[in-house]
A = this chain, B = another copy of it.
Amino acid sequence: MSDDPKDVSTEDDHFDLESFDLPQLRKAVEDQDAQRVFELFDPLHPADIADILEQIGAEQRRALVHLYGTEFDGDILSELDENIRDEVVGYLRPEVLAEAVRDMDSDDVVDLLEDLDESQHDVILEALEEDERDAARQALSYPEYSAGRLMQREFVAVPEDWTVGQTIDLMRTADDLPDQFYHVFLVTPEHVPTGYVTLGRLLSSKRDTALADILEDSFRTFELDEEEGDVAYAFNQYHLISAPVVDADDRLVGVITIDDAMAVLDEEHEEDLLRMAGAGEGSLSDGVLETTWQRLPWLGVNLGTAIIASLVIAIFEATIETLVALAVLMPIIASMGGNAGTQSMAVAVRGLATRDLTGANVWRVIRRETFVGLLNGVIFAVVMGVVGYVWFGSMMLAGVIAAAMVINLVVAGLSGIGLPALLDRLGVDPALASGTFVTTVTDVVGFFAFLGLATMLLL
């Protein structure tokens, strides 16, 4: 990566952000130089402009949006992080907002609306034409995170007995084709989708070919209230590019495209990663108070579980008083258990997210994790036994720490895979702070095994 933005060749133009001259932009904002802002933003994709808006401070952002004025379009708004979007909508001039919203695809409008405060809905809805407004209201009536929210209403559908020629003629004369589409859907007279044809196949087939003869195998439909995570999984699993959404009567009402599914997949991953760490739904652009508040609940749970672990230690206070070396060594057992448990847990959370960990193989995986814990337990028991002997010169102490290591790593493997699997079975997101629970188990078991064995064998 070059430090000098001028070194970056045009071939690197998909890394606009890394070569973007932020100091120049800051200066333009300070100088109230709208022309310079236009020049700097002109070559950028709306997604990159949105990223830049997220990365600067709130005051500069406001000044910048103001300077950018009517150039600020709906695509930038769509790409902004939820809380920044809320903020920007709050001070966008109504006519700019109205103009911005008018250009957006129906799914993007819904995406925008669902994240905004109720009070801001009206500003946006008023900006839309009547049928678009009804459509947006309709979409908002579907459950959050459902296929209904994700779909766009623009699609091309033709009767199932049509030929290639008829379809091409329709498209050539239609003036309201979607901006982006990849399939033509076949529907019954009741508007039930029965298959689809790719545009490539349509273009390369003879005019008199029946559409029914060139259908794709990959056809799948989704229902309006289906969870978006399930939709994203299906797109990834079955390599779908677009898929129809049907209502309760199986009628075609919209289409989901892979780029939206990809965005959902990405969000679900973010959720897994942050939840596993107990970090909530945090975003980099959240403020201090908001972030503190998001992190607080799981820190609270963690404090509770840490106190439980302390109570275990408290049972053995007398032992520690006699042999203070135990206090020195006990965090090692807890740390190794926590680490091994986290390893197993990450594999479990991932396996559950990709649906590779199922009832069919969960016992085999639990067995595997237990044996892995046993093997690594024995290996590190030997290492730690030697370290303990060299350090404290007691064969018995070395034996106790070695035994505790084996016990804790076996339990770590078991709970690392078992707890997420159990949460999943109970209908709870397995990523949801499995971390805290797994380390609690390994802490409690680790302290108990180590101090308990020490009490029995060393006193």
Residues of A within 8 A of B (CB): 11, 13-15, 17-18, 22, 45, 47-48, 51-52, 54-57, 168, 171-172, 174, 177-178, 180-182, 198-200, 202-204, 206, 220-223, 230, 234-239, 241, 250, 258-259, 261-263, 265-266, 269-270, 272-274, 276-279, 282, 284, 286-289, 291-292, 295-296, 298-300, 302-303, 305-307, 309-310, 313-314, 317, 320-321, 324-332, 334-336, 338-340, 342-347, 349-351, 354-358, 360-361, 364-365, 368-369, 371-372, 375-376, 379-380, 383-384, 387, 435-436, 439, 443, 447
Do the beta carbons of B284 and A365 come within 8 Å of each other? Answer: yes
User: Quick one: given A182-B200, A288-B368, are A273 and B349 in contact (CB under 8 Å)?
Assistant: yes
Complex Cα distance A206/B307, Å? 74
Provide the residues of chain B in CB contact with A355, threshold 8 Å. Answer: 17-18, 51
Do the beta carbons of A356 and B284 come within 8 Å of each other? Answer: yes
The listed residue (B199, B222, B332, B344) touching A200 by CB distance below 8 A is B199
Complex Cα distance A372/B287, Å? 9
3 tightest Cβ-Cβ pairs between the two chains A and B: A277-B346, A199-B199, A327-B327
Do the beta carbons of B307 and A317 come within 8 Å of each other? Answer: no
Complex Cα distance A339/B250, Å? 48
Complex Cα distance A309/B48, Å? 43
Do the beta carbons of A324 and B317 come within 8 Å of each other? Answer: yes
User: Quick one: given A14-B222, A203-B202, A277-B342, are A380 and B303 in contact (CB under 8 Å)?
Assistant: yes
User: Quick one: given A331-B443, A375-B288, are A274 and B347 in contact (CB under 8 Å)?
Assistant: yes
6 residue pairs bridging A and B, Cβ less than 8 Å apart: A266-B354, A279-B344, A295-B340, A317-B324, A331-B331, A339-B435
Question: For the complex, would chain A's binding face be called helix, strand, loop or mixed by DSSP majority?
Answer: helix
Complex Cα distance A436/B351, Å? 22
Do the beta carbons of A334 and B336 come within 8 Å of each other? Answer: no
Do the beta carbons of A298 and B199 come within 8 Å of each other? Answer: no
Chain B residue at smallest Cβ distance from A240 = B259
The listed residue (B15, B279, B331, B439) touching A309 by CB distance below 8 A is B331
Provide the residues of chain B in CB contact with A56, threshold 8 Å. Answer: 360-361
Provide the residues of chain B in CB contact with A321, threshold 8 Å. Answer: 321, 324
User: How many subunits of this chain does the assembly comprise?
Assistant: 2
Do the beta carbons of A364 and B57 come within 8 Å of each other? Answer: yes
Chain B residue at smallest Cβ distance from A78 = B239
Complex Cα distance A384/B300, Å? 10
Residue in A52, A220, A287, A307 with the greatest tally of chain B CB atoms within 10 Å: A307
Provide the residues of chain B in CB contact with A365, threshold 8 Å. Answer: 284
Given contacts A241-B259, A296-B379, 12 further A-B contacts (CB under 8 A): A14-B234, A51-B355, A55-B361, A174-B204, A265-B265, A265-B266, A269-B269, A296-B376, A299-B343, A300-B380, A302-B339, A310-B331
Provide the residues of chain B in CB contact with A284, threshold 8 Å. Answer: 347, 351, 356-357, 361, 365
Provide the residues of chain B in CB contact with A303, threshold 8 Å. Answer: 332, 336, 380, 383-384
Do the beta carbons of A342 and B203 come within 8 Å of each other? Answer: no
Min Cβ gap A235→B in Å is 7
Min Cβ gap A160→B in Å is 18
Do the beta carbons of B299 and A339 come within 8 Å of each other? Answer: yes
Do the beta carbons of B371 and A288 come within 8 Å of each other? Answer: yes
Do the beta carbons of A339 and B47 come within 8 Å of each other? Answer: no
Min Cβ gap A382→B in Å is 11
User: Quick one: given A57-B364, A295-B340, A368-B288, are A273 and B350 in contact (CB under 8 Å)?
Assistant: yes
Do the beta carbons of A200 and B172 come within 8 Å of each other? Answer: no
Do the beta carbons of A347 and B279 come within 8 Å of each other? Answer: yes
The listed residue (B180, B278, B289, B383) touching A343 by CB distance below 8 A is B278
Min Cβ gap A151→B in Å is 15
Provide the residues of chain B in CB contact with A204, threshold 8 Å. Answer: 171-172, 174, 177
Chain B residue at smallest Cβ distance from A269 = B269
